[in-house]
Amino acid sequence: MPQIELAGKIYEVDEDGFLQELDKWNEEFAQAYAHTEDIEGPLTEEHWKIINYLRDYFAKFGIAPMVRKVCKDNGIDMKKLYELFPTGPAKGACKLAGLSKPTGCV
């Protein structure tokens, strides 16, 4: 299992870099990891809103929400979502939020 070191702590991740031990997530993890998803500088309030939303949804339902739902519930469109997370909601946002990997279809 690959490991990464962020802000002085070691985390286990899978080959795509998704956090394996979900309870190890913390805000420093998200911040220190952000640059690998092409986000420059500190995470903004808008980023946190999405990250917290994803975490809440995941805690409640055990899966990541559909993208349309993310946009609707947060009052943003796809363009904005990609502006915030240039590598996309599934890869970028879920990874920073410490969700287990969404099972994508080919």
Partner 1 sequence: MANSETPLLDELEKGKWPSFVKDLKQAAGKNPMARDLIHQLELSYKDRIGHWKHGGIVGVKGYGSGVIGRYSDRPDLFPNVQAFHTMRVNHPTGWFYKTDTLRKLCDIWDKHGSGLTNMHGSTGDAILLGTTTDHLQSCYDDLSNAGFDLGGSGSALRTPSACVGPARCEWACIDSLDLCYNLTMTYQDQMHRPMFPYKFKIKISACANDCVAAIARSDLSVIGTWKDDIQVDQKEVLAYASSINIQKEVCDLCPTRCMEWNGKELKIYDEDCTRCMHCINLMPKALRPGKERGASILVGGKAPIVRGALLSWVIVPFIKLEPPYDELKNLIERIQDWWDENAKSRERLGELIQRLGMRVFLKAVDLPAVPQMVKAPRTNPYVFFWPEDLKKEVK
Local structure of 87: helix, strand or coil: coil
Smallest distance, partner 1 to C-beta of residue 56, A: 18
- C-beta of residue 24 within 8 angstroms of C-beta of residue 86: no
CB nearer partner 1, residue 30 or residue 71: 71
In the block, tokens 């911040």 appear at 31
Please say if 94 is a catalytic residue: no
Interaction of residue 106 with partner 1, rule CB under 8 A: yes
Q: Which amino acid is at 14?
A: D
Task: List the interface residues with partner 1, window 14-43 (CB under 8 A).
Answer: 15-16, 18, 38
Q: Which amino acid is at 46?
A: E
Pick the binder of partner 1 from 7, 22, 59, 66 (CB under 8 A): 66
Which residue is catalytic, options 5, 16, 104, 105?
105
In the block, tokens 């070191």 appear at 5
**Crossing angle (nearest 10°) for helices 67-74 and 45-61:** 120
CB nearer partner 1, residue 15 or residue 45: 15
Pick the binder of partner 1 from 11, 34, 47, 89 (CB under 8 A): 89
List the catalytic residues.
Answer: 105
